[in-house]
Amino acid sequence: MSATPSCLLTTTPELPSDPVDIRLVVTDMDGTLLDGTGRIPEGLWPLLAELRRRGVLFSPASGRQYATLARQFAAAGDGMVFVAENGTYVVRDGVELSSDPLDPAPAARVVETTRRLAADGVDVGAVLCGKRSAYVERTDEAFLAEAEKYYARLRTVEDLTAVEDEFLKVALFDFGPVERTTAPALEPFTSTHQVVVSGEHWVDIMNPTANKGAAIRRLQRDLGITPAQTMVFGDYLNDLEMLDTAEWSFAMTNAHPDVIGRARYLAPSNTDNGVLRTITRILRLPTP
């Protein structure tokens, strides 16, 4: 369900005359829910309590690791569904609901491509994302500092191609603009896998069937929730398919232009508390 120019708005939509029956709220994290310092807004915690009281499921959907999301929402995580690793791993209360594992052979080829890029002077490193942990073989402090922001469980190994785990994706961090350097080098993988730019410096390689949208559709089907009962928020290219799952789809005003073109509505930016303000407004909740 792609947006058409006639339904794009420059602000949040007018309040409908009747109450909106929302059963599921899904939000990206970085550039969407998190503020300018990368923190969860304090106003989210009372909002989550009110959503739960009303029977509305709140679900973070992120390229981040499940362990990282669970840690961030430890104060309010019971019953919450985490759409982790760009939709390749969906977990509720520690129980896997769905996953889309990546075969070891293409994962190893991505690692080898990363090594070649680094040998040619590109400042890039790979994070091999497994269900048990994430793994890196690059060990400099600058790279580890970036990886640790998103991977609470992170192990350093000598050889990523020798790791044994059930893999979900390979994430590459490029200290330069990833769309100009690393992403073009991954073009050979696009015929068989998804190559998704998930941030200015990150690109993910996953199965062709894996994305946030596919994970949310499975969740909707399992819970009996319709697109009309779903509200989603996103800001970057890994959120595109997710926007198609909801009639209430919002791009942040700071979003990538392609995301703004795909969403039905715009929400205020993440630095302006856009997710909380929009949920509160549409559902007529007390102002946090």
Dump strand ranges (E) for 146-187. 154-156, 167-174
Burial degree of 14 (CB within 10 A; 0-12, 13-18, 19+): exposed
Q: Which of the residues 28, 30, 100, 239 is marked catalytic?
A: 28
DSSP letter (8 states) at residue 30: I
Q: How is the beta sheet containing 24-27 ordered, strand by strand?
A: 57-60, 24-27, 230-234, 248-252, 265-267
Q: How many CA atoms lie within 13 A of 69 on its CB side?
A: 30
Q: Which residues contact 49 (CB under 8 A, 6 or more apart)?
A: 76
The tokens describing 115, both together, are 């090594």
**Maximum CA pair distance of the chain?**
60
Q: How far is CA 245 from the centre of its chain?
A: 14
The answer to whether 204 and 238 have CB atoms below 8 angstroms apart is yes
Q: Report the C-alpha gap between 233 and 243 in whole angstroms.
A: 7
28 among known catalytic residues: yes
Q: Report the C-alpha gap between 264 and 271 in whole angstroms.
A: 21
Q: How many CA atoms lie within 13 A of 231 on its CB side?
A: 22
Residues in the chain, overall count? 288
Q: Report the C-alpha gap between 117 and 127 in whole angstroms.
A: 15
Query: What residues act catalytically?
Result: 28
